[in-house]
Structure 1
Amino acid sequence: MHFASTRIITADVARLADFYERVTGVRANRYTEDFAELVTDSATLAIGSTRTVPMFAPDSAEPAANRSVIIEFFVEDVDSAHRDLSGYVEEFVKEPTTMPWGNRALLFRDPDGNLVNLFTPVTPEAIERFAR
């Protein structure tokens, strides 16, 4: 099995694709007005419109209703990313903080309210864990 992507369902694909382009620095592949992907070396973030949900199973996904998933991105410098996103991100949930497992993390919400975590390993153990 190969993990392929995480998909966010939204009422506004263009807005969310623009947001994640700004956050990640990765240009979205916009295949239709209903579907876009941000492809990185390690994962793909797919963004689909509510119009795509019936193709899978009617009423199976609802935009802006998530309260249990955090979308995470490894960044070189979380403090720099925080400075770059200040004034752009509307809701920072947690300012950059060093977590007990050795990552310095920044938590905020995307325009649909989904949690996003940017993190940088900072302890020797965490740095070793992410060395690939």
Structure 2
Amino acid sequence: MNLVSLRIITADIKRLVQFLEKATNLPARWATDDFAEIVTSSFTLAIGSTRTLSFFGENIAQPANNKSVIIEFRVENVDDDYERIKDLTREIVQKPTTMPWGNRSLLFRDPDGNLINFFTPVSPEAIKKFA
């Protein structure tokens, strides 16, 4: 089994996709006006509007209500990315900090309040883990 995608449901898809494109420096692929994907070499971040929920039933998901998931991206240099995105978001939760498990981590929120972590492995163990 392979996890290949995570989908965020949002009430303002254009705003969120534009933010994520700027934050990740990756273009989104739009399938419809209600569904876009940001594709990396190992994972796809899907973004769907609340209108896509009608395919699944009522009260399936609530946009801008995440309090338990962190979306994580391994980046080349988290300090450089911090300089690039610090004015993009109103909420930097944690400036670049080296964590006890060997990753240098930047934690911030997207416009819907979802937590995003950019991290760079810096300890020998963490570098080996992601090699």
CA distance in 2: counterparts of 1:99 and 1:3, whole angstroms: 25
Match of 1:113 in 2: 113
TM-score after normalising by structure 1 = 0.97
Return structure 1 stretches of 4+ with deviation > 6 angstroms. Answer: none
CA deviation map 1:15-72 (0-9, x unaligned) = 1111111111110001111000001001000000001112112111000000000000
| RMSD across aligned positions (CA) | 0.7
Gap runs ≥5 in structure 1: none
Gap runs ≥5 in structure 2: none
CA distance in 2: counterparts of 1:71 and 1:90, whole angstroms: 17
**What are the residue-to-residue correspondences of 1:1-132 with 2, within 5 Å?**
1-131=1-131
CA distance in 2: counterparts of 1:30 and 1:57, whole angstroms: 23
CA distance in 2: counterparts of 1:100 and 1:57, whole angstroms: 42
Q: Which amino acid aligns with 2:9?
A: I
CA distance in 1: counterparts of 2:72 and 2:86, whole angstroms: 18
Tell me the secondary structure at the aligned position of residue 76 of structure 2.
Answer: coil
Q: Which moved more, 1:21-30 or 1:101-110?
A: 21-30
